[in-house]
Amino acid sequence: MTAPLRLEGVEFAHDGKPVLRGLDLSLRAGTITALMGPSGCGKSTLIALAAGLLTPDAGRVARRCARLGIVFQDPALLPWKTALGNVGFALRGLGLGRAERRARARAMLEAVGLDPGDAGKFPRQLSGGMRQRVALARALAVEPDLLLCDEPFAVLDAEPRRALWQLLRQIRERTGLTMLVVTHDRDEATAEADCLAVMDKGRIVPSGQPGAG
């Protein structure tokens, strides 16, 4: 089966300082891959390259997906739009009508656990955890076949984290979604992911299945 995302020999430098040094990574379709590694090892850069937001200095990034969803470390919400408007903004890329955008956005906000009353609130009126849920709803609302998440649940407590992981797994079962999730939590990676990729010094180091090392 064709890998939805494959990085081959990717090199990237920020201001002349090498961040990724010949990185290879391939995601299997329909799997959740947890990406771990020490701070500053280039995980967010890898996500940006995978999303096509950066261009590698060398190597190749091949993305074979119809729709990409992404959750950034910072929720990146438009402060002048409500939670509903923020999710609807991403749906504009799909060319949907206003009514369909709103209906889909409302349903996805509910699915990630936001109260219906919070859909009309501006980001400043939401807690950090609620903002992150809005960002996740935005990514899922486009019905992606590849989802990239950069520490999506870092600000959430254990219980809502578990609930959102369960939601992601349900979506994965239903749609065959492929996910790459950056996390610092080894227990979470072991429990929730199918594969584990560990980064060090700008490369993926051998790790095997979750729990293997």
Partner 1 sequence: MARKRPPSRLWSLAGLALLLVLWEAGHRIWGPLVLPGLAETGVTLWRMIAEGMVAPALAQTAGNAGMGWAAGAAAGMIAGTLAGLRPEAQRALQPVAVVLLGIPAIAWVVLALLWFGGRWAVVFTVAVATGPLVFAAAVAGVHSLDGGLIRMAQAFRVPLGARLAHMHLPHMLVHVFPALATTLAMSWKVSVMAELLAGAGGIGDGLATARAHVDTAAMMGWVLVVVAVLVAVDLALLQPLQRRMVHWRDDGRGVGA
CB-based contacts of 159-166 (< 8 A; 24+ apart in sequence): 160/113, 160/129, 160/133, 161/188, 163/113, 164/112, 164/113, 164/133, 164/136, 165/192
Task: Kindly state the smallest distance separating residue 148's Cβ from partner 1, in Å.
Answer: 8
SS3 149: strand
Which among 52, 4, 56 is positioned nearest to 28, based on CA atoms? Answer: 4
Residue 78 binds to partner 1 (criterion: CB under 8 A): yes
Total number of residues that touch partner 1 (CB under 8 A):
23
Using CB under 8 A, which of 58, 62, 76, 205 touches partner 1? 76
Shortest distance (Å) from residue 1 CB to partner 1: 25
Which of the stretches 24-32, 116-124, 173-181, 190-198 binds partner 1 when contact is defined by CB under 8 A?
116-124
* Residue 131 CA neighbour count, 13 Å, CB half: 18
Using CB under 8 A, which of the segments 12-20, 44-52, 179-187, 190-198 binds partner 1?
A: 44-52
- Segment interacting with partner 1, rule: CB under 8 A, options 37-45, 117-125, 163-171, 180-188: 117-125
Torsion of CA 153, 157, 158, 160, to 10 degrees: -70
- Please check whether residue 104 is in contact with residue 185, taking contact to mean a CB–CB distance below 8 angstroms: no
- Check binding of 181 to partner 1 (CB under 8 A): no
Residue from the set 60, 64, 92, 201 that interacts with partner 1 by CB under 8 A? 92
70 binds partner 1 (CB under 8 A): yes
Residue 127 touching partner 1 (CB under 8 A): no
Contact range with partner 1 by CB under 8 A, out of 23-31, 34-42, 51-59, 155-163: 51-59
> Nearest 5°: phi and psi at 182?
-80, 130
Q: Is 120 in the site for partner 1 (CB under 8 A)?
A: no
Distances (CA, A) of 158 to 119, 129, 174, 196: 23, 12, 24, 20
Per CB under 8 A, residues contacting partner 1 are: 48, 51-53, 68, 70, 72, 74, 76, 78-81, 89-90, 92-93, 122-125, 138, 142
